Amino acid sequence: MKRIHNKEDIIQVGLDLVLSRGFNATGVEAILKQANVPKGSFYNFFSSKEEFGLAIIDKFVAGRAEVLSPIFSDESIPPLERVKKSFDTMIAIFGSDDCSKGCLIGNLGQEMADQFENVRQRLNQALQSWTKELSKLLLQAQKENTIPADTNVDMLAENLISSFQGALLLSKIKKSPEPLRNFIHLYFDIFLAQRTEN
Amino acid sequence: MKRIHNKEDIIQVGLDLVLSRGFNATGVEAILKQANVPKGSFYNFFSSKEEFGLAIIDKFVAGRAEVLSPIFSDESIPPLERVKKSFDTMIAIFGSDDCSKGCLIGNLGQEMADQFENVRQRLNQALQSWTKELSKLLLQAQKENTIPADTNVDMLAENLISSFQGALLLSKIKKSPEPLRNFIHLYFDIFLAQRTEN
């Protein structure tokens, strides 16, 4: 039981540190120190730092699902509104961190996709499931004529995630939530809203 | 003369390495080895690795301006088409690298904005000038009624850059130029094209 407890601690502490500092800049020693785990025990739990990277991705994805699943399945809200609310919710979390940290998927994608093929594949899987979730809601919105019949909902779902990731990045560089607020405004009040008027 | 030649070499080699590997993962020794510059001479040229970071940002921005300025100022093409062509041109360069590397501004923003305040500010300046260049063209397009009178051109200019950065990131994670192609299609054939029909 102790080992399992320790492993969970390392993953949680590691996730926070990697979100703040990046993967390469986060040393194994710093993680163990912060997690209060004896030096040298890291490799009892993970065969490599890459394996640790995969574990924190899984942790992050599970945490995000906990926050977003109730929104995605809330049938009291129209489907396109649920998509908007899911982004609003993530933006509120990001803003509370002074626009630092960001989304682990984007952060690690930028830093590691070219270096660690297993990490890239795990991130890609996470993006694919996220895209599918949005895509289902957009298809429902399409059936209800909230978005036009000729919209490719899979393409739009991925593009929403893509533009959200870009807005997170610009908010980090500007140290301001403005690019995120503008992403919400342009997509949901103009680009998509307008299309429904046709 | 020799010192200046060496410094330029270090910046060029460093830019390439940082684009492939990231900033933290690029060691000073690797740069000097590749640049064929004697060990230990790095700190003759740069007071810190952060100062070196600022130098490669300036190099990257100057290189991009060389490619984009002729497009931005080409009056034989309508202004909104020039905006599109500038992104198409960057995408062609990115695609030729097998969708790795990406845009230094986005890469360093993700990796360093929270760690190095001077780097963040320099990246922010680069984004501001880029936004201004696009904004000028969008204002011209607005005067020619290619985009609607109620569009906030500064907001749209920044959002285009933001969504482009996100598409670069997703292309990296997917190892496919598809998110970039979809960015061009959705913005220029649908979101902006449609608005002009109103």
pLDDT at A3 over 80: no
Distance from CA of A123 to the nearest CA of B (A): 7
Residue B87 CA to its chain's centroid (Å): 10
The whole-number pLDDT of residue B5 equals 57
Could you give phi then psi for residue B193, rounded to 5 degrees? -60, -45
pLDDT at B36 over 70: yes
Q: What is the pTM of this model?
A: 0.93
Find the closest chain A residue to B165 by CA distance: A166
Which carries the bigger pLDDT value, residue B188 or residue B115? B188
pLDDT at B57 over 90: yes
Q: What is the mean pLDDT of residues A16-34?
A: 88
pLDDT at A18 over 60: yes
The residues, any chain, with a CB within 8 Å of residue B186's CB and separated by 6 or more, are A155, A156, A159
Find the closest chain B residue to A193 by CA distance: B191
Q: In chain B, which residues have their Cβ closer than 8 Å to the Cβ of A126? A: none
Banded pLDDT at A4 (limits 50, 70, 90) = very low
Percent with pLDDT over 70 in chain A: 95
Query: Which domains can be identified in chain B, with CATH numbers?
Result: 1-45 (1.10.10), 50-197 (1.10.357.10)
In angstroms and rounded to an integer, the radius of gyration of the C-alpha atoms of chain A is 19
Write down the H helix ranges in chain A. Answer: 2-21, 28-35, 42-45, 49-72, 79-96, 104-112, 117-143, 153-174, 178-184, 192-197
Write the DSSP symbol of residue A190: I
Which carries the bigger pLDDT value, residue B143 or residue B41? B143
Q: What is the mean pLDDT of residues A66-88?
A: 97
How big is the A-B interface in CB pairs under 8 Å?
155
Q: Do B164 and A169 touch (CB under 8 A)?
A: no
pLDDT tens, position by position, B171-181: 999 999 999 99
Q: Residue A166's closest CA among A155, A151, A154, A182?
A: A182
ipTM (interface predicted TM): 0.93
Write the DSSP symbol of residue A39: T
The whole-number pLDDT of residue B91 equals 94
pLDDT at B29 over 50: yes
Which carries the bigger pLDDT value, residue A112 or residue A136? A136
Nearest to B173 among A127, A166, A173 (CB): A127
Q: Do A100 and B120 touch (CB under 8 A)?
A: no
Distance from CA of A153 to the nearest CA of B (A): 12
Q: What is the mean pLDDT of residues A43-59?
A: 93
The whole-number pLDDT of residue A36 equals 84
pLDDT at A1 over 60: no
Distance from CA of A147 to the nearest CA of B (A): 13
Q: What is the mean pLDDT of residues B64-87?
A: 97
Q: In chain A, which residues have their Cβ closer than 8 Å to the Cβ of B177? A: none
The whole-number pLDDT of residue B2 equals 46
For an interface test with B, the pick among A114, A120, A127, A180 (most B C-beta atoms closer than 10 Å) comes out as: A114
The whole-number pLDDT of residue B3 equals 46
What angle, 0 to 180 degrees and rounded to 10, lies between the N-to-C axes of helices A153-174 and B104-112? Answer: 60
Q: Do B186 and A158 touch (CB under 8 A)?
A: no
Q: What is the mean pLDDT of residues B156-173?
A: 96
Q: Do B163 and A158 touch (CB under 8 A)?
A: no
Q: Do B167 and A172 touch (CB under 8 A)?
A: no
